[in-house]
Amino acid sequence: MSDPVGIGFIGAGEISILHAKAVKQIPGAKLVGLWNRSPERAKERAEWYGCKRYETPEELVADPEIGAVFVLTDLDTHLQYAKLAMEAGKHVLVEKPLTATVAEIEEMRATAERMGVVCVPGFNMIHEASIARARTLIQGGDVGKVVSCYVMYNIHHSEERASTLPGMVRHILAHNIYTMNYLVGRPTRVTAFKAMRHYEALDKEDLAMVLLELECGGIAHLCASFAADDLSADPWTFMVKVIGTAGTTRYTYQDWVEAKKGISHSRVYTAYQETITNEDRYFVDVCLKGGAPLQNLDDAMIVQKVIDGVEKSIAEGISVPIV
């Protein structure tokens, strides 16, 4: 058996807690160390995770024990740290949304190609057995022609947590978009709306809703909300549904709920951690061994083009083609 691949984290915020738990469960990987901008948090998290702490990101990427880097900082710094790691010869997994612009994704791809390393978008929600089964059914034509696709996210987050993150369009809709793209293919046109319903003191939307025409001829409806939990009998907490002319598929977080507080959620939605664990396992066991990611940088560009289209639609009150 070969040695486990050494993983380094650049950024040790909330999402690093889920990745640290994931890496512990993967026999082929070991968390070697982390760097975080604030040294206090770096120290605390390195103790929690039982790994090294580096003084600088340059020191982390120079460590020969590290074979791959997870970029877990804020969106605006993803390109900077992904390039730093790749130029040191490390493979990278970059949290969603990959970057702020399509041009930055192109730069990321050019760097990966030049350095001969793997660069994988951190699109965790699709790393689920039932999402894979749904895709097989849809692609095999077993649900007939796709009529509609719904990807609904309604999970309340505290104002304190929301204040450190971008609004719903940049922070959550990326999940809805890559999930839709994975299941029913790319969109051709988008119309979007946003609102602030809960955090009156924050200068960003806590709700975004989007309608998209799909290349396959169907229509998708996406919702991303931090404003409120859905407390109904059949909640759309994170719910994915595809209705076809000959069948339907559904996936929901509500099938696995633990009655204890999550890190940012009022409950533990078991599937959420599972998607991160599956994603990291796939990265280590498949992507680092030459296999294709479930979604690649071309898909990340589609996601970014849709986000750009959503922002244009909201700003100008128009329906925007996605080309």
Ligand X SMILES: NC(=O)c1ccc[n+]([C@@H]2O[C@H](COP(=O)([O-])OP(=O)(O)OC[C@H]3O[C@@H](n4cnc5c(N)ncnc54)[C@H](O)[C@@H]3O)[C@@H](O)[C@H]2O)c1
The least distance separating ligand X from the CB of residue 244, rounded to whole angstroms, comes to 28
36 or 278: CB nearest ligand X: 36
List the one residue from 29, 34, 69, 75 that touches ligand X (CB under 6 A): 75
Asked if 313 is part of the footprint of ligand X (rule: CB under 6 A), the reply reads: no
At 306, is the secondary structure helix, strand, or coil?
helix
Task: Transcribe 216-246 into DSSP letters.
Answer: TS-EEEEEEESS----SSS--SEEEEEEETT
The least distance separating ligand X from the CB of residue 96, rounded to whole angstroms, comes to 5
The least distance separating ligand X from the CB of residue 122, rounded to whole angstroms, comes to 6
* Angle subtended by helix axes 78-87 and 102-115, to nearest 10: 10
Q: Residues 26, 87: contact at Cβ < 8 Å?
A: no
Asked if 218 is part of the footprint of ligand X (rule: CB under 6 A), the reply reads: no
**Which of these segments, 48-56, 72-80, 205-213, 215-223, binds ligand X (CB under 6 A)?**
72-80
Asked if 2 is part of the footprint of ligand X (rule: CB under 6 A), the reply reads: no
Asked if 96 is part of the footprint of ligand X (rule: CB under 6 A), the reply reads: yes
Q: Residues 207, 197: contact at Cβ < 8 Å?
A: yes
Asked if 171 is part of the footprint of ligand X (rule: CB under 6 A), the reply reads: yes
34 or 143: CB nearest ligand X: 34
Asked if 159 is part of the footprint of ligand X (rule: CB under 6 A), the reply reads: no
Q: By rule CB under 6 A, what count of residues binds ligand X? A: 20
Secondary structure letter of residue 253 according to DSSP = G
Asked if 8 is part of the footprint of ligand X (rule: CB under 6 A), the reply reads: no
Distance, CA of 220 to chain centre: 19
Asked if 12 is part of the footprint of ligand X (rule: CB under 6 A), the reply reads: yes
List the one residue from 21, 24, 37, 198 that touches ligand X (CB under 6 A): 37
30 or 170: CB nearest ligand X: 170
Asked if 73 is part of the footprint of ligand X (rule: CB under 6 A), the reply reads: yes
Task: Transcribe 75-141 into DSSP letters.
Answer: GGGHHHHHHHHHHTT-EEEEESS--SSHHHHHHHHHHHHHHT--EEEE-GGG-SHHHHHHHHHHHTT
**CA-based torsion, 293, 295, 297, 300: positive or negative:** negative
Residues at the site binding ligand X, with contacts judged by CB under 6 A: 11-15, 36-38, 41, 72-75, 77, 95-96, 122, 124, 164, 171
